Amino acid sequence: MKTFLKSLLIAAITLFTFSCKKDTVTPQEPTPTPTESLLKIGETYILGAKAKAVVYSDKALVTGYNVIYVALYDSIDGSRLSDGHFNVTPMMDMGSMMHSSPVENTEDTITTGGYFKTSVVFIMPGTSTEWSLNMMFNNHKNGLTGHGELGVDVVSSTPSKCVSTTIALDSNAKVFISLIGLANPIVGINDFEIVIHKKLGMMNFPAIENYTVEIDPEMPSMGHSSPNNVNPVHIGKGHYTGEVNFTMTGLWNVNLKIYKNGTLISSDQYFEITLH
């Protein structure tokens, strides 16, 4: 790992100096080195595009919302690739059937900080023989398009960062609500963000943008709430942001009330948050 990082660092520096000399069009691109906080998930060749993808995340992949950072390299000279169309399709192979899960692929054709950033909502846990990230890359360097597949382990997030429910009042829609952030909640005010997806088929998980969400944090062992929470409002692509307040440490449940067109359609879902 260390030697890998070292070589990456060297590669990055050379790339940086190289790009500086040759191409001053993208001087804003920072050092494309995985920072210490990123964890390597795995790597695979993107066959057909003469590229190799190295997948990072800020932590091991869990059920719920995960942000993955993909660095692409020229499989011949090892140089970093920053230009192209890239997307990921998560796939679950359950033997008898296969299904995907919600994913947010970047529309950028240029890497940010050296990475293509993709968010995946894993809707169930699985091993690397079950879950895989199917990656497609259209390499602008050589104009080639290829595919690669990386098996990944997905463990259950405890407490769960993704809840799912079938909402009878919304045409029996199977809905996935994922918590984003809030990894280190504090006593006081916290940003609160969720993303809501719906299952329209094995391979189709669109974002839901027309719900209204109310939150009510509660300490289950005491039965009390907290004041002045800001209900999440939709900001785009199924993301809803607000503020959640905690008045003390301990175990909290952030209860969710979901409305559609003014009708309460779900009120039994919640996220467990522990403050130490």
Partner 1 sequence: MKRFLIIIAACFFIQQSLWSQNVSKDSVVKTIHLEEVSICDESSDKNESFSFYRNSKLANTEDILSRMQGVNLIKRGAYGLEPTLRSFSTGQTNLTIDGMRMYGACTDKMDPVSIYIEPVNLKSIQVTNGAAGALEGSTIGGQIEMHLKEPGLTCQKQSSGQISQAYSTVNNGSNSSAIWQQSSNKLAYRVSGTFRKADNYKAGSSKLIPNSGYQKANTSAALLFKVNTSQIIKLDYLGDWGKNIGYPALAMDVGTASAQIIAFTHRFTFSEKFLQRNELKIYYNDIIHQMDDTHRSDSPMHMDMPGWSSTVGFYNELTGAKNFKIRLDFHRAYTRADMTMYPVGEPIMYMQTLPENNINDMGLAIGRTFYLNKKQQININGRLDYFTQVAIFGAGSKQWKVFNTDITETQNNLLKNINISYVKQFKASTHIQMNFGYGERIPTSNERYGFYLFNKQDQFDYVGNLKLKPEGNYQAELIFKQQYKKIEYSVNLFYNHIQNYIYAYRLKSYSQMTIGAFGLKTYKNIEHAVSEGFEGTVKVQLLQGFSYIGSVKYVYSQTYNGLPLPLIPPFKLQQALRYNFKLYQFQFEHDYAMTQERINLDYGDRVTPSFHVFNVRASKNIRIKSSVLQITLACENILDTNYREHLDIGSIPRFGRNFLISLSYIF
Residues that bind partner 1 (CB under 8 A): 186-189, 219, 221-228, 245-251, 274-276
Q: Shortest approach of partner 1 to residue 67 CB, angstroms?
A: 27
Contact by Cβ (8 Å): 151, 131:
yes
DSSP 126: B
Q: What is the spatial distance between Cα 32 and Cα 11, in angstroms, rounded to a whole number?
A: 9
The CB density around residue 263, as the number of other CB atoms within 10 Å, is: 10
Instruction: Return the number of the residue (59 or 224) whose C-beta is nearest partner 1.
Output: 224
Instruction: Return the number of the residue (94 or 248) whose C-beta is nearest partner 1.
Output: 248
Residue written as tokens 């909640």?
185
Q: Shortest approach of partner 1 to residue 232 CB, angstroms?
A: 17
Q: How many CA atoms within 13 Å lie on the side-chain side of 55?
A: 28
Q: Shortest approach of partner 1 to residue 215 CB, angstroms?
A: 13
Q: Shortest approach of partner 1 to residue 274 CB, angstroms?
A: 6
Residues in contact with 268: Cβ distance below 8 Å, sequence separation at least 6, in sequence order: 165
Is the alpha carbon torsion for 164, 169, 170, 171 positive or negative? positive
Q: What is the spatial distance between Cα 76 and Cα 96, in angstroms, rounded to a whole number?
A: 38
Instruction: Return the number of the residue (6 or 224) whose C-beta is nearest partner 1.
Output: 224
Instruction: Return the number of the residue (95 or 223) whose C-beta is nearest partner 1.
Output: 223
Instruction: Return the number of the residue (206 or 220) whose C-beta is nearest partner 1.
Output: 220
In 3D space, the residue among 175, 180, 202 whose CA is nearest the CA of residue 259 turns out to be 175
Q: Shortest approach of partner 1 to residue 189 CB, angstroms?
A: 5
Q: Shortest approach of partner 1 to residue 240 CB, angstroms?
A: 20
Instruction: Return the number of the residue (38 or 275) whose C-beta is nearest partner 1.
Output: 275
Angstrom CA distances, 39 to 33, 35, 55, 67, stand at: 12, 9, 9, 11
